[in-house]
Structure 1
Amino acid sequence: MIDLKGKTAVVFGLANKRSIAWAIAQKLNEAGAKVAICYQSERLKKEADALLPELNDAKSFQCDVSVDEEIERVTEELKAAYGTVDIVVHSVAFAPSDAIKNDFLLTKRDDFRVALDVSAYSLVAVARALEPLMSAGGSILTLTYYGAEKVFPNYNVMGVAKAALEATVRYLAASLGPKGIRVNAISAGPIKTLAARGIGDFNKILDTVTERAPLHRNVETAEVGNTAAFLLSPLASGITGEITYVDCGYNVTGM
């Protein structure tokens, strides 16, 4: 059984109750952790606050991880509220819609920069800011996708951003390992989240996974949450710098 009693977990990237971030927050809460959920903007505050009663003694904080000043502010707020942090979940990704739907060759410089900044660099920024609060060590987890390794239709610049994110996981694991902080990623299979709406013909990807994955189905958010709880717990104390697939086995298939 996973026991996270006495631990404080910060979950960045909550969008709504269908998001992977929410599934992870629920599992961490079930394991006994105090959970702080961070939403991007005032527009998402109502959604986040409405979910708080479903968690035990949870708090919500606003933080746009593409803005250093907001990361600095939320770090001070977390320090004041909890003192220390043990677990950090980074469930954040964004690319301008044109950069996703248009041919990759047409990717604009600014759109490329934004995708890499929000989807990959923000993990570095968050880790650097919260590392001083992780004085007893801890664990950081981010979310990636198989499009980092293989070309998926209508994923385009986000695939490049996820590839950068996966490399970032490995380099951060090396940087933070001496401080007792582990850094890992989950490569989740396709899930109908708010972010997935921006990917054209997304249902075709879902159908392909159902057909070809060894389990012949798509993964559920709760299953990603279960794996996250394990990786963020002491049960995974020897695991860092890894990309763990939770995709019903789709990544192992060829034809």
Structure 2
Amino acid sequence: MGLLEGKRILVAGVTMDSSIGFATAKVAQEQGATVLISNFGRALSITKRIAKRLPAEAPVLELDVTDPEHLAGLADQVREHVDGLDGVVHSIAYGNPETLLGGKFLDGPWPDVAQAVQVSAYSLMSLAQATRPLLTPGAGVVGLTFDATVAWPAYDWMGVAKAGLESCARYLARDLGPHGIRVNLVSAGPLRTLAAKAIPGFSDLEDMWSTRAPLGWDNTDQEPTARAVCALLSDFFPATTGEIVHVDGGFHAMGA
């Protein structure tokens, strides 16, 4: 029996098969879950093609987490495929690389910063609220972050947005805990995803891990991160919420 046998999981924000979201959907299916995935806009057609590469083709829902109508209709979309959810994965982030990343912190314009915070942090609450009518007691909400406790080269305003995400997860854990819903994050090391490739100077981050992660770090392997997400969605962490689990080869625990 798999770790997620019989569970119904929504993975929001799957584009390419190199993404953490895709890897999570794959591992979840391998562990026995029924998986739904989502995307929106021009990327939706890509996601529909990518869905065929999963062990079992997953239904693809249209969801823009900044669109109130999409959020209001999400529960009905989900109910077309399953009658409830045991887990939700927030694999969503965006910051304009031309204005917010790669050493542009002091010049980041507010409209772009606001968009990054809404898409990358506020949307965790939006997604949790939109799916809350479907979530069963004991359900898990898991998001993905990149350590926001320090300032990183090149990451700039996305680091601020991730700090917001991490704080949002703690407040959600507080408010959803009485309803039996757990909220946790996985903090992954740098991975060569589509989003990472858009960050100017991303190689500077990758280089740090090659020398300082005691377990080593493969920046092309999303599976360790996906496994951690699935573990947090499982029944093996029934009393864990408001937590950030690091999957970074141990980098976060090392000094300079």
| TM-score, normalised with respect to structure 2 | 0.94
| CA RMSD between the two structures | 1.5
C-alpha distance in structure 1 between counterparts of 2:78 and 2:177, whole Å? 23
Q: Which amino acid aligns with 2:140?
A: S
State the 1:41 CA deviation. Answer: 2.0
Change (3 A) 1:202 1:50: closer
The equivalent residue for 2:228 is 227
C-alpha distance after superposition, 1:160-212 (max 9, x if no partner): 00000000111100111111110000000000000001212212211211111
**Secondary structure, aligned partner of 1:121:** helix
Matches within 5 A, 1:22-41: 22-41=22-41
The equivalent residue for 2:86 is 86
Contact 1:19 1:193 in 2 (8 A): yes
Q: Which amino acid aligns with 1:22?
A: F
The equivalent residue for 1:4 is 4
C-alpha distance in structure 2 between counterparts of 1:217 and 1:130, whole Å? 34
Contact 2:214 2:250 in 1 (8 A): yes
The equivalent residue for 2:54 is 54
C-alpha distance in structure 1 between counterparts of 2:74 and 2:11, whole Å? 12
State the 1:112 CA deviation. Answer: 1.2
C-alpha distance after superposition, 1:39-66 (max 9, x if no partner): 1324332333342352336211111111
C-alpha distance after superposition, 1:223-242 (max 9, x if no partner): 00111111110011121100
C-alpha distance in structure 2 between counterparts of 1:51 and 1:121, whole Å? 27
State the 1:216 CA deviation. Answer: 3.0
Contact 1:52 1:59 in 2 (8 A): no
Change (3 A) 1:58 1:115: same
Change (3 A) 1:16 1:57: closer
The equivalent residue for 1:131 is 132
The equivalent residue for 2:102 is 101
State the 1:102 CA deviation. Answer: 4.4
The equivalent residue for 1:248 is 249
Change (3 A) 1:8 1:202: same
238-247 or 79-88, which deviates more: 79-88
Aligned pair 1:217/2:192, yes or no? no
Q: Which has the higher helix share?
A: 1
Q: Which amino acid aligns with 1:10?
A: L
C-alpha distance in structure 2 between counterparts of 1:22 and 1:88, whole Å? 13
| TM-score, normalised with respect to structure 1 | 0.94
C-alpha distance after superposition, 1:6-53 (max 9, x if no partner): 211000010110000001001110111100010132433233334235
**Secondary structure, aligned partner of 2:169:** helix
Q: How many residues align?
A: 254
Change (3 A) 1:190 1:53: closer
Sequence identity of aligned pairs in percent?
Answer: 36
Change (3 A) 1:198 1:50: closer
Gapped runs of 5+ residues in structure 2? none
